[in-house]
Amino acid sequence: MTIKKIILIFAFGVLSATSFAQINFFGTDDDAQTKDFYKRSMRYTATAVCNFPKFNIGAAFLLHSQQDRISFYFDAKVNKRTYDIEGFEIDAEQNKLPITESVKYDYLLANIGIARGVTRNWIIYAAVGVVAQRTDLSNEIGSGRIFTIPRQGLQHNFGVGAFYVTDKKITIQLGMDLFDRSINTGIGYTW
């Protein structure tokens, strides 16, 4: 079992356990967590997201459930910029010369997960998703140029992070995607 799968199972187990523990240990009249996010009667959170160093842009959404004391997380990011790939060119004497070419590289990352309000202002999340990458570049037969096209097609992703909701409902997001080892930052609003 890979490390990503173990982390995923652990994160979902912890978030699920805390959600059910809150329901089972506290009644609605004697809830010990007085500064509870879910008592603020907010239903939605939306943020504009950019991740670094890839500069993918997109949006993240949280749907809050006051009854289950859990939130559902969705995000999507795209990138249509160029990407430098490395390869080599074979010259007339059959020597391999290293080359780099900048190519158009389409990218889509989408995650779905669960989140939990741990205090009045902090929400943590864990998500799984897919990454689709595609380029029109191909290794042409007889051209003498051979490129390595990394991670073409569908891949899996795991993301974790946190939201901070201010008392004015401005929301700040900080997280990471393990697929491309990038940091997600976002700003938005909770209502």
**Per-residue pLDDT, 31:** 40
**Per-residue pLDDT, 33:** 40
**Per-residue pLDDT, 1:** 61
Range of the domain at 140: 3-190
**Per-residue pLDDT, 25:** 46
Query: Mean pLDDT by 10-residue block, N- to C-terminus, for the chain (191 residues)?
Result: 74 65 48 62 93 90 89 92 80 84 87 93 95 81 72 90 93 94 95 91
* Total tally of structural domains belonging to the chain: 1
Return the SS3 of 186: strand
- Cβ neighbours of residue 183 under 8 Å, at least 6 residues apart? 51, 52, 174, 175, 176
**Per-residue pLDDT, 102:** 84
| CATH code of 77's domain | 2.40.160.20
**Per-residue pLDDT, 108:** 93
**Per-residue pLDDT, 141:** 66
Q: Which two tokens stand for residue 142?
A: 């007889």
**Per-residue pLDDT, 132:** 92
Exposure string (b/e) for 3-13, b if CB count within 10 Å is 16 or more?
eeeeebeebee
**Per-residue pLDDT, 129:** 96
What phi and psi values does residue 182 have, to the nearest 5 degrees? -120, 155
**Per-residue pLDDT, 42:** 87
**Per-residue pLDDT, 111:** 97
Amino acid 137 reads L
